[in-house]
């Protein structure tokens, strides 16, 4: 066998050894199936899903190549959540993104061991999503929206914008499924008392209660309104905002989505930023990180948003100093 023949055989043998590895490297990576579960409607939760997808894209994950989304919407009907969870679990998912505390709780109650990521849980420890924020354990992790800690700030924003207010109405819904509401209500009343403001409260347990609740608020003649967040209010925010504006008094909400729906102002954690950050959890978990070892994080982006169009329609003057503090003004 001459030298040229030996070289040809050596190259051929090397090619055979390398070929299987090349073929394996060219095999398409697994396409992960991610469930998206919300108690809201398609319209009310669009921003959260888009922000989550944007967060995945920022990490180089492309829909159809690295993952697919299986979405389910309860359309505001919370009794539908268990059936929707069952539908998702039948899809052989790798992870479920359930942004709100209510959606995450419904998923948890199914007993699934799938990783669950949440983004807007007001009280994740109280809801049983983890043992501690730093090390939740189990199969759940994500972000908390910390509504309770921001309740006093909303009172301050209202007072800064409208120094003459003396009486504040508070709209709330004290549902077993709406974690954190009692704490928000108590903190709102405490902060108002510190500033010498009186508080009247009104509960609306269903959208059908809105007209009655706002009629009762109007009879009490408050100078301003605070809406304490819960998922039912958020899902029905267009209607709620219209009724609040009909009072023709300043109203403050916890999320920018209310202001974009026509509400006057808000101060709170950015829901879209929390949903975008939740994508980092999904990627880490799908790459092998145990969810129980990923700490539950707090919000880092807070928004003061003012709707100047609404202010003008209601005949309300917003101080320039407050507008300079605003993260966004809607004209």
Q: Class assignment of domain 32-145+271-300? A: alpha beta
Give me the pLDDT at residue 288, please: 96
Task: Tell which residue, 295, 269, 303, has the closest CA to residue 122.
Answer: 269
- The stretch 289-318 carries a mean pLDDT of 96
| Residue pLDDT, tens place only, 228-260 | 988 889 889 999 999 999 999 999 999 999 999
- Could you list the beta-strand ranges (E) of the chain: 32-38, 67-73, 95-97, 116-121, 140-144, 167-172, 198-203, 224-227, 251-253, 265-269, 302-307, 328-330
Cβ neighbours of residue 109 under 8 Å, at least 6 residues apart?
82, 85
CA–CA distance, 298 with 129 (Å, rounded to integer): 14
Give me the pLDDT at residue 178, please: 63
CATH 3.40.50.2300 fits 147-270+303-330, yes or no: yes
Q: Considering only 20-29, 142-151, 170-179, 320-329, which range has the smallest mean pLDDT? A: 20-29
| Residue pLDDT, tens place only, 61-114 | 999 999 999 999 999 888 999 999 999 999 999 999 999 999 999 999 999 999
- The stretch 19-23 carries a mean pLDDT of 40
For the chain, the structural domain boundaries read 32-145+271-300, 147-270+303-330
Half-sphere exposure of 244 (CA within 13 A, CB side): 30
125-162 per-residue burial string, b: 16 or more CB within 10 A, e: under 16: eebebbeeeeebebbbbbbbbbbbbbbbbbbebbbebb
Q: What is the DSSP letter of 318?
A: P
- In angstroms, the first-to-last Cα distance of the chain is 86
- The stretch 7-22 carries a mean pLDDT of 41
Give me the pLDDT at residue 22, please: 38
| Residue pLDDT, tens place only, 153-191 | 999 999 999 999 999 999 999 876 567 788 889 999 999
Cβ neighbours of residue 256 under 8 Å, at least 6 residues apart?
266, 268, 270, 271, 272, 303, 305, 328
Task: Tell which residue, 331, 160, 150, 322, has the closest CA to residue 253.
Answer: 150
Give me the pLDDT at residue 146, please: 76
> In terms of DSSP bridges, do strands 95-97 and 67-73 run parallel, antiparallel, or are they unpaired?
unpaired
Task: Tell which residue, 151, 149, 156, 129, has the closest CA to residue 141.
Answer: 129
Residue 168: other Cβ atoms inside 10 A: 27
Give the SS3 label for residue 149: helix
Give me the pLDDT at residue 44, please: 86
Cβ–Cβ < 8 Å for 182, 228 = no
Give me the pLDDT at residue 18, please: 41
Give me the pLDDT at residue 235, please: 87
pLDDT > 90 in the chain, percent: 79
What mean pLDDT, rounded, does the chain reach? 90
| Residue pLDDT, tens place only, 125-149 | 988 999 999 999 999 999 998 767 7
Measured CA to CA in angstroms, residue 127 lies from 23, 123, 261, 267, 272 at distances of: 48, 6, 29, 24, 22
Give me the pLDDT at residue 17, please: 40
Q: Tell me the chain's radius of gyration from C-alpha atoms.
A: 25
CA–CA distance, 325 with 281 (Å, rounded to integer): 31
The answer to whether residue 199 scores a pLDDT higher than 80 is: yes
Task: Tell which residue, 283, 296, 240, 279, has the closest CA to residue 263.
Answer: 240
Give me the pLDDT at residue 76, please: 85
- The stretch 32-56 carries a mean pLDDT of 95
- The stretch 19-24 carries a mean pLDDT of 40
- Fold: same for 32-145+271-300 and 147-270+303-330: yes
pTM (2 d.p.): 0.84
Give me the pLDDT at residue 316, please: 97
Give me the pLDDT at residue 16, please: 37
| Residue pLDDT, tens place only, 200-228 | 999 999 999 999 999 999 999 999 999 99
The answer to whether residue 55 scores a pLDDT higher than 70 is: yes
């Amino acid at each position: 066998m001459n030298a040229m023949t030996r070289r040809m055989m050596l190259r051929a043998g090397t090619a055979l050894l390398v070929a299987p590895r090349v073929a394996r490297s060219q095999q398409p990576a697994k396409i992960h199936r991610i469930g998206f579960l919300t108690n809201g409607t398609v319209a009310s939760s669009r921003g959260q899903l888009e922000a989550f997808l944007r967060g995945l894209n920022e990490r180089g994950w492309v829909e159809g190549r690295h993952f697919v989304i299986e979405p389910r919407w309860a359309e505001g009907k919370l009794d539908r959540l268990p059936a929707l969870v069952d539908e998702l679990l039948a899809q052989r998912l790798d992870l479920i993104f359930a942004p709100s505390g209510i959606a995450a709780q419904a998923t948890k109650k199914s007993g699934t061991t799938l990783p669950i990521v949440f983004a807007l849980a007001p009280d994740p420890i109280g809801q049983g999503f983890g043992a501690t924020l730093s090390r939740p354990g189990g199969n759940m992790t994500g972000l908390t929206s910390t509504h309770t800690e921001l309740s006093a700030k909303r009172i301050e924003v209202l007072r800064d914008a409208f120094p003459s207010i003396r009486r504040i109405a508070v709209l709330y819904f004290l549902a077993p499924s709406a974690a954190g509401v009692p704490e928000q209500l108590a903190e709102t009343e405490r902060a108002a008392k510190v500033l010498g403001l009186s508080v009247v409260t009104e509960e609306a347990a269903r959208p059908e209660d809105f007209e009655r609740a706002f009629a009762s608020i109007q009879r009490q003649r408050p100078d301003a309104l605070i809406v304490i967040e819960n998922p039912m209010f958020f899902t029905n925010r267009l209607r709620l905002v219209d009724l609040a504006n009909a009072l023709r008094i300043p109203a403050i909400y916890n999320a920018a989505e209310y202001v974009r729906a026509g509400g006057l102002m808000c101060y709170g954690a950015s829901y879209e930023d929390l949903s975008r950050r939740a994508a980092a959890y999904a990627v880490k978990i799908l790459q092998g990180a145990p969810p129980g070892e990923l700490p539950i994080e707090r919000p880092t982006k807070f928004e003061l948003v003012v709707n100047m169009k609404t202010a003008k329609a209601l005949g309300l003057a917003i101080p320039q100093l407050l507008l300079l503090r605003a993260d966004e003004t809607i004209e």
